[in-house]
């Protein structure tokens, strides 16, 4: 029995995915949809996520770990109490531990801001060799 357990874990693959985007872009809702459960907190209030949270979905012998990162925006447009610089660093550390990124863009916000924020673009450029969607 023990040999069988060791063999099955050897076959299991883990894929770590960082989900990034602006505050309130739907990152938590998207991850909840992917895993099929309401695991991560969702709120209309910006900056609900202060640190990366994770949710896991296993499909066959592959385990997906989705990391919900804090919303990223320019420090010059956010109050100091939001500690955006710290959130940017936490997000960078999270991406560094992952196998790929997913950038979530809120279509409503995109009507006002027709670009991906420079801070998020910076992540995508810094991790250009990492698969991203």
Q: Which CATH number does 13-127 carry?
A: 3.40.50.300
At 47, list the tokens.
């900056």
Angle, helix 118-126 to helix 84-96, in steps of 10 degrees: 30
CA 53 to chain CA centroid, Å, is 8
Residue with tokens 């602006």: 22
pLDDT at 77: 63
Dump strand ranges (E) for 27-83: 53-59, 62-68
More confident call, 133 vs 44: 133
Which tens digits make up the pLDDT trace of 22-73? 888 899 999 999 999 999 988 776 655 567 899 999 999 999 999 999 888 7
- The pLDDT tens digits of the residues spanning 73-104 come to 776 666 665 677 788 899 999 999 999 999 99
More confident residue, 20 or 7: 20
The whole model's pTM is what?
0.81
Angle, CA of 113, 91 and 115, to the nearest 5°: 15
Instruction: Report domain extents, the chain.
Output: 13-127
**Distance from C-alpha of 118 to C-alpha of 11, rounded to nearest angstrom:** 39
Closest CA to 85 of 131, 119, 127, 44: 119
β-strand pairing of 62-68 with 53-59: antiparallel
More confident residue, 81 or 126: 126
pLDDT band at 11 (very low <50, low <70, confident <90, very high): low
Residue 4 has pLDDT above 60, yes or no: no
């Amino acid at each position: 029995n023990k040999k069988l357990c060791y063999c099955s874990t050897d076959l299991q693959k883990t894929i770590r995915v960082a989900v990034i985007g602006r505050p309130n872009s739907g990152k938590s809702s998207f991850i909840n949809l992917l895993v099929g459960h309401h695991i991560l907190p969702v709120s209309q209030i910006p900056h609900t996520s202060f640190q990366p949270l994770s949710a896991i979905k296993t499909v066959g012998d592959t385990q997906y770990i989705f990391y919900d990162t804090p919303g990223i925006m320019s420090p010059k447009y956010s109050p100091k109490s939001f500690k955006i610089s710290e959130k940017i660093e936490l997000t960078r550390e999270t991406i560094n531990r992952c196998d790929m990124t997913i950038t979530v863009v809120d279509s409503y916000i995109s009507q006002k801001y027709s670009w991906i924020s420079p801070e998020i673009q910076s992540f995508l450029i810094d991790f250009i060799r990492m698969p991203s969607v």
